[in-house]
Structure 1
Amino acid sequence: MNILLYDFLNSYIQYDLVHYLEKAGHKCANVLYREGVDKYEDEKFTARMEKDLDGGSFDLVLTTNFWPVVSKVCNRRGIKYVSWFFDSPPNLPTAECMEYECNRIFFFARADYERYKALGLSNVYYLPLAVNAERLSTLRVDEKKYGCEISFVGKLYESMLPAMMSHMDEYQRGYIDGVVKTQLQLYGGYIVDDVITEEFSESVRKRYRQLSEKAIQISRMELAWAVASHVTHLERMTLLSVLSGRHQVKLYTFELTEDERRILPKVEYCGSVDYLDEMPQVFAASKINLCPVLKANRSGIPLRALDVMGAGGFLLSSYQSELAEYFYDGQECVLYTSLEDAIAKADFYLAHEDIRQQIAAAGRARIQEAFGYEDRIEALLSV
């Protein structure tokens, strides 16, 4: 097949996706579009895409995540559009354009697939993410640079929720506090979308309007995301703070705020790492790799968890239903169901190297067996 790909977000999976498409004999035109694009209406990008399509005889267009602006062009021109989400939840306010016949939309999280399937869409599919085990098998690890007891690679998700709450009334602040405290205790369950209702969101907007006619009017989706990211932030900060008081902890992320540095004085801040070369070395050299999953991801196995195991690292992740479905907890990875559980398991597995190494090896074998790109690409192109 002759495939036109667009990469809008510097997608982590783009390199491996193109590699395996070409390995399977497909011809790929991979466009790195870095000019910013409106997801729904973008005249500049639309003109660029029309020109790209005119310049070649393409069988389909492929992107990571679904882009309505791409779907509109494909729909007009009658060309198949395949998209594969690597984000959960999808950052789309509506299902606009998803119903087009040209679309084949794949979700890595089953909960997202079921949500959109329930809307009556017949062109949505479930497909977990994949790992380039071939690339990771040739990894040369700098143990001296990246070795440590515990590492975490990822964002801390600083949220706008505290700023939003500062303008709410007492009842609204209390309600949000209750939601946050409850969600913090829940692993494998997500209540935010159910309890941050449109009615509650409208009451917040009304409160904002009372304070100022020019106040920002946040949507229910924006408020729910702020709550979910705040809960994730609190979990990650607490986990790192407590564990760094007991063990060596390295944090690989973007710049920390002053408050984060103050709360995490014992954490070794190491900056960000490159996905293809440095990140796998961190996973392979760390005795334990933390993976507290974003709370808004209801079920899916995040790419980070797969990459840890694919690099031969030991994965300690918050409970996620699909991780528990595809991997044997305690044999191929280790899942925790509370902060106390995470701390106890970190203590245990640092003290039992032989068991830890057996689990890491079994996790890697499972990745090589069931999470390769070859099967995923066949699924993407077969419908």
Structure 2
Amino acid sequence: MNGQAYRKGREDGYPLGWNHGRWLGHCESIIARAAPVPVKRPIHVLYVTSGKGYPYSPLDNGIYETLKTVAERVTLALPVQDVAKIAAKSRPDVMLVLDGMNMPFDKVQAVRSLGIRTAIWFTDDPYYSDVTAEIALRYHSVFTLERSCLPFYSGLGCPRVHYLPLGVFPGDFRPRNPLISKRGDVSFVGTAYWNRVKLFHQLIPLLAHRRLHISGMWWDRLPEYDRWKALIDLGRWMDPGQTSERYNASRIVINAHRAHNDDTFNQNKARIPAVSPNPRTFEISACATLQMTDLREDIAQFYIPGQEIITYDSPQDLVDKTEYYLEHEEERQAVALRGLYRTLRDHTYISRLNQLLDLTMNG
């Protein structure tokens, strides 16, 4: 009996292990070809973190770790520290602040008075534009991840405003080999904003026969939450490693962008529209899984729809494409691998920070 069980386990496990190994081999080959080689430029960057803790701390870490590969010297500071004193002592070429909501204006002005260039990178545009409007005016250069905010900041009087979406830190988001027990067909990770509740209220009954997993805050907003709660990991904030593992464990990952006019934690009285991809766009594709995203105007600037990423325009369209790619594995993998290549080539923090430093130092 033990011998039979062993042979049965080997017969079942060998092809599965071979396929997983072959897949990771394809991914590693793409990583070797596409990942940019960082070159350190002879500048000193003072990086001031968001100071907000989780979930911003992974962004801070990814940017800080990448800065150390593209700048000869990097000094790290928190908004609560005496940043002006740190700047006066270390004399950086530029101070980069992430988010800026916890950075006092007097500290920014004190650094600028030293003749040091300052740059702010906004992480949540346009959802906090009521707050960021005042912050932006304090900096030499303004970087926003939302293209629609360019005329907004320029109209306020900011002389140097640039469109720069967040990227991905491959140290966190990369191809992995998750446990068999965690693997499934379709997943979504994110907060249940109302447009997402509406989408998944229609979507879940059509995909419930698949191995579907949803994770995030507020999903008890669903009208039929009790019916579907077994599919939902409610109220959980996953760290980047856990999120990456979930993406890798899914054959398809859905990306549904937040609506610009959702009143949940929204300070966007100007009703600036959101047309640019969210950070999740790059993180999903960096994990070499097939991404299906709603079509924002700027998506085509970053990925070729239908080749490197799949877009949908309705719940039924999403269901139809999901069923198609779950039944056509070679095509699913081909799109996922092309998405991985494009992400590593163009959308890591190495690429983003090189752009930011060029524009700040030469502007």
TM-score interval, normalised by the smaller of the two chains: 0.7 to 0.9
Report the Cα distance in structure 1 between the residues aligned to 2:295 and 2:227, rounded to whole angstroms: 25
Pick closer, same or farther for the CA change 1:76–1:283 going to 2, 3 Å: same
1:150 Cα deviation (Å)? 0.5
Report the Cα distance in structure 2 between the residues aligned to 1:307 and 1:53, rounded to whole angstroms: 33
| Matching of residues 111-260 of structure 1 within 5 Å | 111-133=148-170, 136-137=173-174, 139-157=175-193, 230-239=194-203, 241-254=204-217, 256-257=219-220
1:154 Cα deviation (Å)? 0.7
The one of 92, 96, 113 equivalent to 1:62 is 96
Report the Cα distance in structure 2 between the residues aligned to 1:263 and 1:71, rounded to whole angstroms: 49
* Contact 1:243–1:249 (Cα < 8 Å) also in 2: no
Give the aligned residue type for 1:63.
V
Q: Specify the alignment match of 2:7 in structure 1.
A: none
* Contact 1:309–1:364 (Cα < 8 Å) also in 2: yes
Q: Specify the alignment match of 1:13 in structure 2.
A: 59
Report the Cα distance in structure 2 between the residues aligned to 1:88 and 1:236, rounded to whole angstroms: 24
Q: Specify the alignment match of 2:76 in structure 1.
A: 30
1:64 Cα deviation (Å)? 2.1
SS across alignment from 1:298? coil
1:152 Cα deviation (Å)? 0.5
SS across alignment from 2:118? strand
Give the aligned residue type for 2:101.
W
Pick closer, same or farther for the CA change 1:28–1:149 going to 2, 3 Å: same
Q: Is the aligned partner of 1:276 residue 2:319?
A: no
Please give the per-residue CA displacement for 1:250-281, whole angstroms capped at 9, x wherever unaligned: 11214653866325345242763543311111
Pick closer, same or farther for the CA change 1:13–1:97 going to 2, 3 Å: closer
Give the aligned residue type for 2:177.
V
The one of 326, 335, 353 equivalent to 1:359 is 335
Report the Cα distance in structure 2 between the residues aligned to 1:258 and 1:368, rounded to whole angstroms: 36
Report the Cα distance in structure 2 between the residues aligned to 1:372 and 1:274, rounded to whole angstroms: 21
SS across alignment from 1:277? helix
Pick closer, same or farther for the CA change 1:300–1:66 going to 2, 3 Å: farther
Pick closer, same or farther for the CA change 1:313–1:270 going to 2, 3 Å: farther
Q: Is the aligned partner of 1:104 residue 2:141?
A: yes
Report the Cα distance in structure 2 between the residues aligned to 1:355 and 1:146, rounded to whole angstroms: 23
* Contact 2:46–2:87 (Cα < 8 Å) also in 1: no
Pick closer, same or farther for the CA change 1:257–1:110 going to 2, 3 Å: same
Please give the per-residue CA displacement for 1:196-220, whole angstroms capped at 9, x wherever unaligned: xxxxxxxxxxxxxxxxxxxxxxxxx
* Contact 2:120–2:136 (Cα < 8 Å) also in 1: no
1:72 Cα deviation (Å)? 3.8
Among all aligned residue pairs of Structure 1 and Structure 2, give the percentage whose two residues are the same amino acid.
19
Q: Specify the alignment match of 1:291 in structure 2.
A: 255
The one of 257, 262, 270 equivalent to 2:226 is 262
Task: Return 246-255 or 128-137, whichever deviates more.
Answer: 128-137
Pick closer, same or farther for the CA change 1:284–1:58 going to 2, 3 Å: same
* Contact 1:63–1:83 (Cα < 8 Å) also in 2: yes
Report the Cα distance in structure 2 between the residues aligned to 1:140 and 1:303, rounded to whole angstroms: 19
TM-score normalised to structure 1 length? 0.69
* Contact 1:251–1:271 (Cα < 8 Å) also in 2: no
Query: Over aligned residues, Cα RMSD in angstroms?
Result: 2.7
SS across alignment from 1:63? strand
Q: Specify the alignment match of 1:349 in structure 2.
A: 325
* Contact 1:136–1:311 (Cα < 8 Å) also in 2: yes
Task: Return 371-380 or 266-275, whichever deviates more.
Answer: 266-275
Q: Is the aligned partner of 1:73 residue 2:107?
A: yes
Uncovered stretches (5+) of structure 2, i.e. residues with no partner: 1-43, 261-272
SS across alignment from 2:202? helix
| Matching of residues 301-340 of structure 1 within 5 Å | 301-340=277-316
1:90 Cα deviation (Å)? 4.3
Please give the per-residue CA displacement for 1:52-91, whole angstroms capped at 9, x wherever unaligned: 5466444433222243844442223424321222223141
Give the aligned residue type for 1:251.
I
Report the Cα distance in structure 1 between the residues aligned to 2:221 and 2:154, rounded to whole angstroms: 44
